[in-house]
Amino acid sequence: MATENSTLNVVAVGASAGGVEALTHFVAGLPPGLPYAVLVVLHVPAGAPSVLARILDRKGPLPAAPAIDGAPLEPGTIRVAVPNQHLLVYDHRIALSAGPTENGHRPAINSLFRSVALSLGQRAVCVLLSGVLDDGTLGCAAIRSRGGTTIAQSPGDALFPAMPLNAIQAGVVDHQVAAAEVGGLLKQLADRVLEERQMKPDARIEPENRIAMARQFSTEFDTEALGAPSGCTCPDCNGSLIGVSEGNYRCHVGHAWTANALLRARDHEIEGAMWVAMRSLQEKAKLSRRLADQLSPGTLGERYRAIADEAERAMSVLGTRLSEVYTKHLESGG
């Protein structure tokens, strides 16, 4: 990793559900001439077109544009992650990568935050905005461990407060402010006098950053060296998950998961299995009734009707449970 640039400051911003609203308030509150290069990751589907850069360009005083691989970091500009590419920093330039997904996302918030932590050290600032689950918490911890500053949107100001709230509860947030007030805080931080210091290599963060920087389907890393087997499997590829640290997992091909995201993925797997069971029960009930109707009255016909009744009762129970799961997902922003 390149040595720290004593004149460059970077703000890494992460958002998920409710993030467009939070980001528009954030950029509107940025002061002209802000002496930070601003990098933005919003979780978006891989194949979705993104107009976020155009939206942010219209909403605030700083020019915003999609991130370009290899472009230098420039103070007073906003560069926005593009779909299906991690937004990273290397040698004080933007690096776009098709490395493994993290919590099912590419671009991912944690990968950006880790990268900025390693490249900028105490000149790194991260801002964690609206979203669900605990994306960004590990990244905030990385920035803080390297002497940087962490900011979270006040939970009461966020449309979906779970993401900043998880980071706050983990004790890795230095400041809590409304999205529109982050610009004022950044201006204060920019006026600080920092004592420059050489950062030592970080054996915990650097291996994960190398995985995020890797080309797609790379086999040039060994996740087994990161920790012990967790006894769980990866929702993306069904490979074994390694426990990197508390609540932090990686599979053999590099997919990363936090504990909360892993639990959510298991919920989706269970829900999918329940829908398969619902379909199978429905087909079983229909077939049993059809067979019963084709037979003359007698023991065999009654047996088929009993099978149909049993299948329909099970369908009713499963239907109620699926409704409960769906309601829970809506309430949590899923």
The second-level CATH assignment, the architecture, of 10-190 is 3-Layer(aba) Sandwich (3.40)
Query: Does position 38 have pLDDT exceeding 90, yes or no?
Result: yes
Q: With cut-offs at 50, 70 and 90, classify the pLDDT of residue 295.
A: confident
CB 180 within 8 A of CB 203: no
Query: Does position 333 have pLDDT exceeding 60, yes or no?
Result: no
Q: With cut-offs at 50, 70 and 90, classify the pLDDT of residue 321.
A: confident
Query: Does position 205 have pLDDT exceeding 80, yes or no?
Result: yes
d(CA 46, CA 251): 20
The CA-based dihedral angle spanning residues 95, 32, 141, 261, taken in that order and rounded to the nearest 10 degrees: -70
Q: What is the pLDDT of residues 273-284, one digit of tens each?
A: 878 888 898 899
- For 238, phi and psi rounded to 5 degrees? 65, 15
Q: Which residues are catalytic?
A: 16, 43, 135
Beta-strand runs (E) in 52-201: 64-66, 77-80, 86-90, 93-97, 124-128, 149-153, 175-177
- For 25, phi and psi rounded to 5 degrees? -65, -40
| Every domain of the chain and the residues it spans | 10-190, 260-331
Q: What is the pLDDT of residues 104-131, one digit of tens each?
A: 999 999 999 999 999 999 999 999 999 9
Which amino acid type is present at position 103?
N
pTM (2 d.p.): 0.82
Q: How much is the pLDDT for 2?
A: 40
Q: How much is the pLDDT for 328?
A: 67
d(CA 134, CA 145): 18
The CA-based dihedral angle spanning residues 88, 215, 50, 205, taken in that order and rounded to the nearest 10 degrees: -30
Kindly provide the b/e burial profile for residues 218-255, where b requires at least 16 CB atoms within 10 angstroms of the residue's own CB. beebebeebeeebebebbbeeebbbbbeebbbbbbbbb
Looking at residues 35-58, what average pLDDT do you find?
92
Q: How much is the pLDDT for 77?
A: 97
Q: How much is the pLDDT for 151?
A: 98
Which amino acid type is present at position 60?
G
